[in-house]
Homo-oligomer: A and B are copies of this chain.
Amino acid sequence: MPTELINALTDRLGARRVIIDPEAMIQHLTEDRGLFKGEAFAVVFPETVDEVSFVVRQAIKANVSIVPQGGHTGLVGGAIASRAIIIAMGRMNQIQSLDAVNSTMTVEAGCTLHDVQQAARDADRLFPLSLASEGSCQIGGNLSTNAGGVNVLRYGNARELALGLQVVLPDGRILTDLSGLRKNNTGYDLRDLFIGAEGTLGIITAATLKLFPLPRKKVTAFAGCKSAHDALALYDLLRCSLSDNLTAFEYLPRFGLDIVLKHADGTRDPLRDTHQSYVLIELTTPDSELNLADRLEGILADAFERDLVQDATVAASETQSAALWALREYMSEKQKLEGGSIKHDIAVPVSRVAEFIDVAGAACKTLLPGIRLCPFGHMGDGNLHFNISQPVGMDKSEFLAMWGQFNRVVHDVVADFGGSISAEHGIGMLKRDELARYKDPVALDVMRLIKQALDAKGLMNPGKVIPD
C-alpha cells in the first residue's frame, strides 16, 4: 500500500473522496458480466480538472498506475484496475455551458449520457448519442470508448459528436480545447487521439459536443423480408431517397423475434405471417412540415413491388413506435433465457453485411450443428452483434467452453471481409489477444510509439488496448 500517496490524496481531496475500504471499493473493482475482478489501492473522486491533474502527478511520483473510470458500464474490462488508483469521474458532472446557435455544449466528463441528452433537449436541441446504458454511462467514457449505438447511421459515433476535449495527460499536464469551432486547421488533430484510446493516453475531463436541431417528427416502421439480402436492398433504397432522414435501420432475424415474443411479456408479432428477416426503420426530421409517414409508405410500397419487402407496418402512435422498438431492445436480455450465448461485436462494409451473415453463419454451423444464430443490430452501419445461442438441450458450460473456437471462426470470416472484430465495444483487456492476431502489425507499432511518446512510464490505464 503506497501510504505516502494515499496521504497526499487524502490531504487534498479529503477522506470522503479517497476510498480505501475494500467493501466500499467493490463496485469499482468488479463488473456486471463477472469476467474481471480488479484491485486498487484507492478510489478517488475528483471534482475539478486540477484535482485530476493533482492525482495523476502524485501517482506518477509514487510510481503507481492510474485507471480512469466513468459509469463502469464497459463490456471489455477497460476500467478494471490492478494495483492502481482508480479515478472515478462521477463527481465532475456539471453541464458547463450550452450555445444553441453554435449547436454545442460543454460538459464535464462525469455527466451521465442521459443528463447530457436532457440538457440538450431542454435547449431545444438534440444530442444524438443513444445506447442501452445511457442512464448510468458517462460521456467521458462514451468518448474514451468512441461509443456507438442506434443513431450512428445518421449522426456518427461518439467521435463525430465531439468538437473538442479537455484531457489530463499521463504526465499530469492539462490539454484544453473547448472552443467549439467547426473549422480549425492549426496543427495535429489531438482530439481524435484521445477519443477511443480507452484512457490509455490520458483522462478526458470535459468535452465540447455537437448538437443538432431537435427532431419534430418521427416515423417508426417494422418490415418483414425474405432474407438479409432483401433487407439490405431496402436499406439502400431508403438511404438514397431519404438520406439523413433515415436515422435507424436495425436488423433482427426470425430467431431473435421468436425469443423476444416468447420471453418478453406484452410483446406481440406486429406482422401476420412469419418472415426470415426483419428490420426496424426509423425516420426523423426537424421539419415539422415534412410528411415523413407518407414518404415512407410510398417507398415501402415501391419495395413491396420490387419484392424486397413481404409485409410492413408503420407505427400510428408513440405507443406503437415504442412497442416496435421493444422488440429490438429486448434482444440482448431475452437471449440469456435461451441458455448460453456466445457474442461478437463485428462490423463489415455495409454492402457485405448480408453476405457476412450467410458465410459466418455457415462456418459456425459447421463448427457445431444445432446452434441457433442470432445476428442482430445496426445493419445500416455494417455492425452486427453476431450472437450464437447454444443448441437446445446442450450443456451450457460445454457450449460456453467453445467461446474461443467460435471467436476464431467468426473473426476469421470478419478478417476475410476486411471487417472489425470490435465495432462498438473497444478492446480493453478482453480483446487484446484478438487485436494482436488481427490488427496490422504496422498499426500496432505506431500505436506503441504514440503510447510510449505520451506515457513513457506506462502508468496510464496499463494493460488495456495495446497487446503485450
Contact = CB atoms under 8 A, between A and B. Distances in A.
A152 B184 CA distance: 12
A75 to B, nearest CB: 11
Interface in A411-459: 418-427, 431, 435, 438-440, 442-447, 449-450, 452-454
Contacts of A157: 183
Nearest to A381: B182
A339 interface: no
Nearest to A146: B185
A289 interface: yes
A181 interface: yes
A99 B420 contact: no
Interface in A336-366: 347-352
A186 interface: yes
Interface residues of A, number: 98
A363 B186 CA distance: 24
A447 B349 contact: no
Interface stretch (A107-115, A129-137, A192-200, A319-327): A192-200
Contacts of A196: 185, 187-189
A241 interface: yes
Given A182-B383, A240-B213, A420-B185, A175 B349 contact: no
B239 A420 contact: no
Interface string A11-54: 00000000000000000000000000000000000000000000
Nearest to A454: B449
A105 to B, nearest CB: 12
A185 B435 contact: no
Given A189-B196, A244-B244, A287-B242, A347 B182 contact: yes
A152 B418 CA distance: 29
B383 A466 contact: no
A423 B375 CA distance: 43
B180 A349 contact: yes
B175 A419 contact: no
A339 B442 CA distance: 52
A212 interface: yes
A159 interface: yes
Contacts of A420: 179, 181, 183-186
A385 to B, nearest CB: 12
A101 interface: yes
Interface of A: 99-104, 124, 145-146, 148, 152, 157, 159-160, 169, 173-177, 179-193, 195-197, 201, 212-214, 232, 235-236, 239-245, 285-290, 295, 298, 347-352, 378, 381-383, 418-427, 431, 435, 438-440, 442-447, 449-450, 452-454, 465-466
A101 B189 contact: no
A289 B285 contact: no
Contact of A183 (B195, B288, B347, B445): B347
Given A175-B443, A177-B443, A287-B242, A188 B450 contact: yes
14 contacts: A102-B382, A160-B160, A182-B383, A186-B420, A187-B444, A188-B447, A189-B196, A192-B193, A193-B450, A241-B286, A243-B287, A446-B454, A450-B450, A453-B453
Contacts of A124: 240
B101 A351 contact: yes
A286 B238 CA distance: 11
A181 B348 contact: yes
B182 A446 contact: no
A186 B421 contact: yes
A392 to B, nearest CB: 32
Contacts of A175: 440, 442-443, 446
